[in-house]
Amino acid sequence: MMNKRKCGSKWEDEAAMFLTKCGLKVCDLNFRSRFGEIDIVARDGDYLVFVEVKYRKTASCGKPEEAVDIRKAKIISKVADYYRVVKKIPENTKIRFDVIAIEGDDLRWYKNAFTYMY
């Protein structure tokens, strides 16, 4: 049985490969700050995309995408701000927040899953 971190990394790697196949360029995996973590940072054309990956074996505890609530969106937004400062990303760069939900073997990609939250 895998621990949560190992299991999470496995699915984040799967999601990164999926995004790469879809034409995105993965810039960073598991970017951490004191505010929290962003699973994947990628480029999609002009957009800098911050991706949250959620995995559930089954929907018995709810769908994985439902775990990205307002509280989680605020944390991701704050970490995205920090990422942009640390990486010296120009302020006028378009950004997007996506969610990849994996339930069993089913992968769902939600582009623009939420907007920036203060």
Summarised one tens digit per residue, pLDDT across range 7-58 is: 557 889 999 999 999 999 999 999 999 999 999 999 999 999 999 999 988 7
Q: 62 pLDDT band (50/70/90 cuts)?
A: confident
At 98, list the tokens.
Answer: 């996506």
pLDDT at 8: 55
* Angstrom distance (rounded) from CA 83 to CA 73: 15
Q: Classify residue 58 by its DSSP letter.
A: S
DSSP 67: G
Q: Which one-letter DSSP state was computed for residue 46? A: T
**Going by CATH, does the domain composed of 4-114 fall within 3.40.1350.10?**
yes
The pLDDT, as a whole number, for residue 33 is 95
What would the mean pLDDT of 77-98 be, rounded to a whole number?
97
Q: What six digits make up the tokens of 70?
A: 């307002």
What's the pLDDT score for residue 61?
A: 76
